[in-house]
Amino acid sequence: MSMLVIGITGPTGCGKTTLLQQIERRGGHIVDCDALYYALLASKEGAALRQELQTAFPDAFGADGGLRRKALGQLVFGDKARMAQLNEIVFFHVGNAVRARLVRERAAGRRLFAIDAINLFESGLAALCDTTVGVLAGRETRIARIMARDGLTQEYAALRVDAQNPDSFYESHCGTILQNAGTREQFARTADQYLTNILKGAFPMTKQEREALLYQPRHGRDRLTKEDEAAMLTYCEDYKAFLDRSKTERECVVSAVELAEKAGFRELTAGMALKAGDKVYSVNRGKSILLAVIGKKPLSEGANIGAAHTDAPRLDFKPNPLYEDAELAYIKTHHYGGIRKYQWVTVPLELHGKIVRADGSEVYVKIGADPEDPQFVINDLLPHLGREQGKKPLNEAIPSESLNILIGSWPEPDDDGTDRVKLAIMRILHEKYGIVEEDFISAELEAVPAANARDLGFDRSLIGAYGHDDRVCAYAELAAILQLDVPEKTAVCIFADKEEIGSEGVSGMQSEAFEHFMKTLCGMQSVELTDCFANSFCISADVTAAYDPNFSEVYERRNAAYVNYGVGLCKYTGSGGKGGASDASAEVVSRIRRLFNGNGVMWQMAELGKTDAGGGGTVAKYMAKRNIDTLDAGVPVLSMHAPYETVAKLDCYMTYKGMKVFFEQN
């Protein structure tokens, strides 16, 4: 017969001891989790537990290295974050010890095994149990028992009783409830009958037990607290404002610098003396930025890194872009990143970018965002004449060389030459910006959709905007790092460029700009960069595809991300047989699961789509190549890479919340 595992819980004073004695009488093995915790603290087996507690709560340990329980209590009681940190550590190590005993007793042929834990469900130990039982008793009965057992006053005993979970908690979570209102002998008979029944296989499974056993993601609305809902709405308004002023990678950097300096960040320079809590940033050629908050621990123990990108699919001006045809002036473009070309015709466009004149002077261009500005557009073929076009495959209907932006039609007056419209446009540009046509050769000009971020839907639960990929994750990590005080480990936020074209170039993640930044920080602490990287952890903060029922054929529903289900964790990206993926290890995924579960961060596991449907990549593999443990995590997006993408507010907020706890507690 296989071993039966019973989870036993209930508030203090209810008489669980009588049930445990009945289990022992039947030859069962009992693990008292409270006793196990203190045994671990005093034994070699608990060395890792003591080390982790001492690292997290150094003030709770005496000069002799011993834990001072009262001091630890003073540190965590009344501080939810510190209590959650303590619970995460204790639950992990006690849970491992319980699992080891389960394996040992099962191998020894034990028939009955009981886990006695006040936090049976909160710790996740219920998932190890075949059934769970809660022992309850009336309030006055419990008070009387505690007074007699512990020698407490009635007032103090009542405070202990009232501080614990109500009966309704156990009634909703446990498979069986045993009431212990009578004598010890009466309850012993009740307990004996219960054990007889369950050993025959007659025990129910609660909804909570099913949920503990099965992975069944749920809509975030059903799990969202009022506090998180209010914070979510405020956060998303700030995010929309960031998007509206940051429509290119350069503008994202400018916005980041403004926000960072308001939060006390300084530009990193050689020779700076940095201490824990100092905040620095470094701009790489105006197109990417790295920010850091120095932690308490040395960089030899690693850093917590968030790596997002701020470039987005767009239309770049060609080096010689301006031409006239049929007395209409156009700009030739070269599309940047993976776009679906048909989506960009007849879409109002803005022009953003930078021109460097022949003398080296610079001019910034931003046309179309102001209500008084003109906007621009790419023509499409009328349906009346589109019969042949309609027969073409979708990706061939609009050739790349047809993505030409209409910019004018009014010719230069009193001129007998050709290209009068082109000449008129150049006159306007010269008067406004002081440029000549040759200056386009040393320009970076981008056409982006002329639309600001807006709430979508009657319920305003969604946000529509250009550039969610990947500014929704970039802003999440930026907002998180701006709020840090003094983290345990140094926190690093990266706004990378060129991800949409393979992270190439001096501003992409394949360049050594990141190494240069980290070498500077490590050098200030006399730390080897390789040691720092080996002990670091990176969240590659990039979006994933949200399941779209209109195109269900390309998604594998059991492994798809859904809007309003939280952060999408992606173990691997790539295509086909995981080609081009970093493929995070089980240990890496588990680490983030525990961190998010312990801090109320809603998350879901996801792949981009069906294995043979296509694929994609992120900066994860470039971080992993540096010997940094890396996991992709980000917001699920509908209509990814379209001129107007859609995300859910809940997912945006949960990504921010996830990045915040990652920087604070990982």
The segment(s) of the chain belonging to CATH 3.40.50.300 are 4-213
Inform me whether the pLDDT recorded for 538 exceeds 80.
yes
Q: Which two tokens mark 123?
A: 């710790």
**What are the residue ranges of CATH 2.30.250.10 in the chain?**
314-449
Q: Give the pLDDT of residue 213.
A: 81
Q: Indicate if the pLDDT at residue 590 is higher than 80.
A: yes
How far is residue 616 from each of residues 472, 548, 627, 640, measured CA to CA in Å? 18, 17, 22, 12
pLDDT digits 0-9 by tens, 230-260: 999 999 999 999 999 999 999 999 999 999 9
At residue 397's C-alpha, the angle toward residues 391 and 398, to 5°, is 165
Residues 200-227 have pLDDT tens digits of 775 556 666 667 788 888 899 999 999 9
Q: How far apart are CA 662 and CA 471, in angstroms?
A: 19
Instruction: Summarize pLDDT for 159-200 with one digit per residue, the tens.
Output: 888 888 898 889 889 889 999 888 889 999 999 999 988 887
Laid out side by side, the sheet with 349-356 consists of 362-367, 349-356, 443-449, 314-325, 328-336, 404-408, 377-378
Token readout for 580 is: 């081009």
**CA dihedral defined by 574, 578, 580, 585, rounded to 10 degrees?**
100
pLDDT for 576 equals: 85
Any bridge partners for residue 541, and if so which? 633
Taking alpha carbons only, the member of 334, 289, 344, 337 closest to residue 313 is: 337
Cα 425 to Cα 419: distance, rounded to the nearest angstrom: 10
Helices 69-76, 80-107: inter-axial angle, 10-degree rounding? 130
C-alpha closest to that of 512 among 345, 308, 285, 352? 285
Model confidence pLDDT, tens digit, residues 359-417: 999 999 999 999 999 999 999 999 999 999 999 999 999 999 999 999 999 999 977 77
Q: What share of the chain is helix, strand, coil (3-state, %, to 5)?
A: 40, 20, 35
Q: Look over the chain and give the mean of its residue pLDDT values, rounded to a whole number.
A: 93
Model confidence over 308-324: pLDDT tens digits?
Answer: 999 999 999 999 999 99
Give the residue range(s) of CATH 3.40.630.10 domains in the chain.
220-312+466-665
Whether the Cβ atoms of residue 291 and residue 481 lie closer than 8 Å to each other: yes
Quote the pLDDT of residue 342.
Answer: 96
Please, which pLDDT band fits residue 229 given cuts at 50, 70 and 90? Answer: very high
Cα 264 to chain center, whole Å? Answer: 24
Q: What percent of the chain has pLDDT over 90?
A: 76
Out of 3.10.20.440, 3.40.630.10, 1.10.10.10, 3.30.360.10, which CATH number does the structure's domain 220-312+466-665 have?
3.40.630.10
Cα–Cα distances in angstroms (integers) from residue 254 to residues 235, 248, 261, 604, in the given order: 20, 10, 11, 33
Kindly report the length of the chain.
666
Query: Which of 464, 506, 478, 487 minimizes the C-alpha distance to 648?
Result: 464
Q: What is the amino acid identity at position 138?
A: G
* Bridge-based pairing state of the strands 328-336 and 404-408: antiparallel
* Residue pair 481/491 in contact by the 8 Å Cβ criterion: yes
Q: Which two tokens stand for residue 445?
A: 């000009």
Q: Between the CA of residue 266 and those of 273, 276, 439, 490, what are the distances in Å?
A: 12, 14, 34, 16
| pLDDT tier for residue 504 given thresholds of 50, 70 and 90 | very high
Q: What is the pLDDT of residues 41-94, one digit of tens each?
A: 989 988 999 999 999 999 888 888 888 888 888 888 778 888 889 999 999 999
Strands (E), 42-138: 112-116, 131-136
**Taking the C-alpha atoms of 387, 388, 389 and 393 in order, what is their torsion angle to the nearest 10 degrees?**
120
578 pLDDT higher than 80: yes
Mean pLDDT for 507-523 is: 96
pLDDT at 565: 97
pLDDT at residue 460 above 90?
yes
pLDDT band at 551 (very low <50, low <70, confident <90, very high): very high
Q: What would the mean pLDDT of 636-663 be, rounded to a whole number?
A: 98
CATH number assigned to the domain with residue range 314-449, chosen from the 4 options 3.40.50.10490, 3.40.50.2300, 2.30.250.10, 2.70.98.50: 2.30.250.10
Are 634 and 571 spatial neighbours (Cβ–Cβ below 8 Å)?
no
616-632 pLDDT, tens digit each: 889 999 999 999 999 99
Q: In what helix (H) or strand (E) does residue 279 lie, and over which residues does it extend?
A: strand 279-284
Confidence (pLDDT) at 182: 85
pLDDT value at residue 574: 82
**pLDDT above 70: percentage of residues in the chain:** 98
Q: Which residues, other chains included, contact 386 with Cβ-Cβ below 8 Å and sequence gap of 6+?
A: none
Amino acid at 239: Y
CA angle 598, 227, 461 (to 5 degrees): 100
- The answer to whether domain 4-213 has CATH 3.40.50.620 is no
Q: What is the pLDDT of residue 507?
A: 97
Which of 416-420, 452-456, 483-487, 551-555 has the least mean pLDDT?
A: 416-420
